[in-house]
């Protein structure tokens, strides 16, 4: 059981209904799709193995894109 405030619960219920799932299904999908720090590190290792070490600016842009993906936002500056 996860306890959240009433406003968060209402939002989760609305999101779940819009996506045709339950709050539990929504939380499960979130847990399955958000990368952990270990996941992000592994992704970076795969990128470096294939393309070499990125420059700091490119690395920051990739990190921002991953953050945007994780939060569902779209950052046009990235």
pLDDT attached to residue 27: 94
User: Residue 22: what pLDDT?
Assistant: 96
Is 78 contained in some domain?
no
How do residues 56-66 score in pLDDT, each as one tens digit? 898 888 888 88
The structure's pTM equals 0.55
Question: 47 and 54 in contact (C-beta within 8 Å)?
Answer: yes
Q: Is residue 19 part of a domain?
A: yes
Between the alpha carbon of residue 19 and those of residues 14, 55, 62, the distances in Å are: 9, 39, 28
What domain range is 5 assigned to?
Answer: 1-33
Q: How far is CA 42 from the centre of its chain?
A: 15
Structure tokens at 72: 């569902």
Residue 62 lies in a domain: yes
Residue 28 has pLDDT above 60, yes or no: yes
- Are the C-beta atoms of 13 and 23 separated by less than 8 Å? yes
Residue 76 lies in a domain: no
**Residue 78 has what pLDDT?**
41
């Amino acid at each position: 059981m996860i306890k959240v405030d009433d406003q968060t619960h209402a939002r989760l219920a609305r999101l779940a209904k819009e996506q045709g799932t339950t709050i539990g299904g929504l939380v499960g999908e979130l847990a399955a799709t958000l990368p952990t720090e270990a996941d992000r590190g592994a992704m970076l290792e795969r990128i470096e193995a294939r393309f070499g070490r990125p420059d700091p600016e490119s690395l920051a842009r990739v990190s921002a894109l991953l953050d945007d993906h994780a939060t569902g936002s779209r950052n046009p500056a990235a």
